[in-house]
Amino acid sequence: MDNSSQIIEASHILQSGGVVAFPTETVYGLGANVFNTEALKHIFHIKKRPVDNPLIVHIASLDMLPALVTHISPYNQKLIDHFWPGPLGIVFPKSNLIPDIVTAHLDTVVIRFPSNRIAQELINTCGFPIAAPSVNPSGKPSSTHHDHVKDYFGDHVFVIEGDASSIGIESTVITTLDNPRILRQGAVTQAELEQVLGIPLDNTSETLHLPQSPGMKYPHYAPNAPIHLVAIQDDILDIITTYTKQGYTVGALVSSEIYHHLPDSVIGFDLGSRDNYQTLSARLYNGLHFFDSSPVTLIIAESFQPIGMGVALMDRLSRAASNTPI
């Protein structure tokens, strides 16, 4: 589909201080001009986002970077060279041009250069970087399709109707400023980062006392029904039967391998083969949105091996399940 007229309309809205939703390869973003404090306030208002949770700044050319940061370290330069454009947010020391509302008064800023063509065209048409969190009321699953944005915000938010997000999980966020470590898991894996940086990342339990990404302390990705995440060694079909007998209207968020054995009474969502982490990740939020428009009272979710991109997948699933009362 040709999105050029929607990109132009969106750029006019952004230039006049409004907010728009736009596709990226990870999830859809809710964007505003990074230099316009009043516009940025709308983002926090629309999402009901706590003001101490900073935003990611999106650029679409490396020329936009020097104005936003005070320093590009050799480690960060390696990350830029290797992973941009792509699903990696990098922490930099921020310049004075970035309003405090973007960074929640931190002296650092997370910057990302998305690979999605529409996101790039939008930023380049505007001529300024766009600050954008994921498009969802705070705490709810992110949007990976423009239909999700419409389900959440109806006509209140203009959305560029791009393709579904190909990755489907938010970017990896990394800092190399102090103790190089991952602040948020995502499509770029620890092994890939370590290979490029040539050092091991410090994600051991001793570093857990260090401040992580501020947003990670809030509840996340939770659909309306509680999620029960079944341990990898447990028999998920048995557990589904038990809860169905207890009177729950059960939804099953499972791999194809399990999906094909579900009893008829269960509302299933097929995440694809359990060996294909790309597909599992790309479908995850679709599954959560699907259950939000279904009558399920409990979602039983399958666990996957936390290997490679499975780490980010399990991070999101366990956060989504953390509200479960059972």
Residues that bind ligand TXA (CB under 6 A): 24, 26-27, 29, 53-56, 89, 91, 103, 106, 108-110, 112, 132-134, 170-171, 173, 183-184, 213-216
**In DSSP terms, which residues pair with 22 in a beta bridge?**
29
CB of 186 to ligand TXA, least distance (A): 7
Query: Would you say 3 or 185 has its CB closer to Mg ion?
Result: 185
Partner interacting with residue 292 (select from ligand TXA, Mg ion, none; CB below 5-8 Å by kind)? none
Partner interacting with residue 268 (select from ligand TXA, Mg ion, none; CB below 5-8 Å by kind)? none
Cα 151 from Cα 160, distance rounded (Å): 14
Q: Which amino acid is at 280?
A: L
CB of 83 to ligand TXA, least distance (A): 13
| Sequence-ordered list of residues with C-beta below 8 angstroms from that of 76, at least 6 positions apart, any chain | 90, 92, 176
Partner interacting with residue 244 (select from Mg ion, ligand TXA, none; CB below 5-8 Å by kind)? none
**In DSSP terms, which residues pair with 270 in a beta bridge?**
254
Site for Mg ion in 156-175 (CB under 5 A): none
Partner interacting with residue 190 (select from ligand TXA, Mg ion, none; CB below 5-8 Å by kind)? none
Contact 123, 56 (CB under 8 A): no
Contact 201, 190 (CB under 8 A): yes
Contact 173, 110 (CB under 8 A): yes
HSE-up (13 A, CA, CB side) for residue 84: 20
- Beta-sheet strands, E only, within the chain: 20-22, 29-33, 56-58, 88-93, 108-112, 130-131, 158-159, 172-175, 181-184, 227-229, 250-254, 267-270, 298-301
Query: Would you say 137 or 200 has its CB closer to Mg ion?
Result: 137
CB of 85 to ligand TXA, least distance (A): 11
Contact with Mg ion (CB under 5 A): which of 103, 134, 171, 176?
A: 134
DSSP codes, 1-54: ---HHHHHHHHHHHHTT--EEE--SSS-EEEEETT-HHHHHHHHHHHT--TTSP
With binding defined as CB under 5 A, does residue 185 bind Mg ion? no
Partner interacting with residue 53 (select from ligand TXA, Mg ion, none; CB below 5-8 Å by kind)? ligand TXA
CB of 117 to ligand TXA, least distance (A): 14
Task: List C-alpha distances in Å: 243 to 106, 174, 263, 315.
Answer: 46, 40, 12, 24
Partner interacting with residue 72 (select from ligand TXA, Mg ion, none; CB below 5-8 Å by kind)? none
CB of 266 to ligand TXA, least distance (A): 31
CB of 308 to ligand TXA, least distance (A): 18
Contact 317, 229 (CB under 8 A): yes
Site string for Mg ion, 80-119 (x = CB under 5 A): ----------------------------------------
CB of 310 to ligand TXA, least distance (A): 18
Within 10 A of 217 (CB to CB), how many other CB atoms are there? 12
Query: Would you say 10 or 91 has its CB closer to ligand TXA?
Result: 91
Site string for Mg ion, 33-72 (x = CB under 5 A): ----------------------------------------
| Sequence-ordered list of residues with C-beta below 8 angstroms from that of 199, at least 6 positions apart, any chain | 180
Tell me whether strands 172-175 and 88-93 are parallel, antiparallel or unpaired: parallel
CB of 67 to ligand TXA, least distance (A): 17
Q: Which residues sit at the interface with Mg ion, rule CB under 5 A? A: 134
